[in-house]
Amino acid sequence: MCGRYSLGLSWEQLVESWHLASWPVEPHWTPRWNIAPGQDILALGPSKEGETKAAWVRWGYPLGNRLLINARCESLTTKPLFHEAMKSQRTVIPADGFYEWAPDRRAFRFTAQVPLSIAGLLLRSRQEPIWRVVLITCPANRWVGDIHDRMPWLLTPEQVPLWLDRHSTQYRTLSATELPLTRYAVSSRLNSAQEDTPDLVLPMPES
């Protein structure tokens, strides 16, 4: 699963990395190092002018008595909940790292040499006016597999426009990639969603 990630980039870095159009979130943007479910997060999508825009959405979709935060890539075409979202509500969640917990509850951070684009789906219920998002997961690759069996579905820069294009079906051909990742242990303070400071991304001894 993917239960926490970080986006410690400036607004200028976000605009450059994802070629964002000017958008009202700019004055309200603050870098984040411990983004958790239930919070408002940045999501990217296409504008009517064909540009990439950013908007605030809430991470997690209420489903019965639980909050659905992830969607398995294997079930995207079979679960009715995702049917409409897959056709026209695909989104990208920008990140600069994500976290997973080992079976012994040690927390690890995963990063890459490029900013990360996590595939997601936008959902909205009839009972509320806000958009919600679930992050798509896939089987873990060789950099994550010995820590957890699932990981975020990371799109390459070339895949991002194909995933976001709502007038094309090329997104159906996309698959998870072997994006090289760097891994290191981080502080157990990450366990608290109230903690959100830059030192959370500093390496800790794995022992």
Write out pLDDT tens, residues 90-126.
Answer: 999 999 999 999 999 999 999 999 999 999 999 998 7
Q: Which residue type occupies 93?
A: I
Q: Which two structure tokens, joined as six digits, stand for 166?
A: 């709502």
Backbone phi and psi for residue 204, each to the nearest 5 degrees, phi listed first: -120, 150
* pTM recorded for the entire structure: 0.94
Backbone phi and psi for residue 98, each to the nearest 5 degrees, phi listed first: -140, 165
Write out pLDDT tens, residues 23-75.
Answer: 655 557 899 999 999 999 999 998 777 788 899 999 999 988 899 999 999 99
More confidently predicted of 160 and 171:
160
Q: Which domains does the chain have, with CATH numbers?
A: 4-192 (3.90.1680.10)
Beta bridge partners of 135: 70, 120
Rounded Cα–Cα distance for residues 137 and 75 (Å): 10
- Amino acid 207: pLDDT: 55
What lies within 8 Å, CB to CB, of 80 at 6+ separation is: none
